[in-house]
Amino acid sequence: MKNDWERIDGKRVVLTGATSGIGRATARALSQLGAHLMLLRPNRNDGIALARDLMKRSPGISVEFFPTDLSSPSQVRQTAAQIGERWPAIDGLINNAGARFDHYDRTPENCERTFATNHLGAFLLTGLLLEHLAAAPAARIITVSSSASSQAKPDGRWQFEAHDFDRRQAYAISKLANLLFAFELARRLREGTVQSLAVDPGVVATRFARNNGLLAWLKHVVAHGRKLELRTPAGGADTLVFLATIPSLPPHETEGYFRDRKAIRACAAAYDAAASSALWKMSVKLTGIDPAAGSA
């Protein structure tokens, strides 16, 4: 990791999944570079502690924390409204939060929880903050996907039922949804001042999947560790921070998918225009957001 990022003093950045792993490393780096932050994560105590620590380490910046479960549309709407009241213009939104659930579960809105957390929450939050991002001179939306997206078996159905729940496929499909969303949003925003990018941070040694129990988490870490695939949280955050701080990107990379600071090619399914359109329409219906959100 180079740690040669640009300073972004005074820029305003919203970051989800902020209190652990890649999110925590990203928050630390951005605060040290002068950014004002709004952090989202369900755990209130962790979030407040992190906000205080960041402001202590980087005097002069502001850090606010909003306890938010992205699988809850009501919580996302409440947080988005509070952010919009505080910040009429937002320079960056990093959709980093993600989770894998080993057991089937549905939200009160009757959505499978993996899909609701990893895709619908980011879709709704982005749509609600888009007018504030467009109010900045130049803003970026960065959505974290995963190489797991290439393992998805898209068949037009995005949510599993209890009888056929496959935790790996549920996660892979949600990460494919992240890519389709990021690319479709980039197309819709092509003529504006807001860029939509996606990132594969690599396999990072974090508390990811720890919600499923210690044994499940250890299996995840050991399996990737044996393949020598594990990165530190700071290493996983590097490309996120790079994209959030670099003044401009080459024209052919302004709607791209990045790993190790370089534009890469996603799996073929991520470029399926029909699937992208169908997913967008379904997401609008499930979140109740304005259908015009994200239009150029």
* 104 is annotated as an active-site residue: no
Residues in CB range of 193: below 8 A, 6 or more apart: 134, 136, 137, 138, 139
- Rounded distance, CA 77 to CA 110, Å? 18
- Rounded distance, CA 146 to CA 270, Å? 12
Q: Which of 104, 171, 257, 271 is catalytic?
A: 171
Neighbours of 14 (CB within 10 A): 27
Give yes or no for a contact between 197 and 143, defined as CB atoms under 8 angstroms apart.
Answer: yes
HSE of 145, CA atoms in CB hemisphere, 13 A: 33
Residue type for 140, please?
R
Q: Which two tokens stand for residue 68?
A: 């938010």
- Rounded distance, CA 236 to CA 193, Å? 27
Phi, psi of 108 (to 5 degrees): -60, -25
Q: Which two tokens stand for residue 79?
A: 């947080």
DSSP 125-159: HHHHHHHHHHTSSSEEEEEE--GGGGG---SS---
- Rounded distance, CA 153 to CA 64, Å? 39
Q: Which two tokens stand for residue 194?
A: 């807001």
92-95/63-67 β-pairing: unpaired
Residues annotated catalytic, as ranges:
171
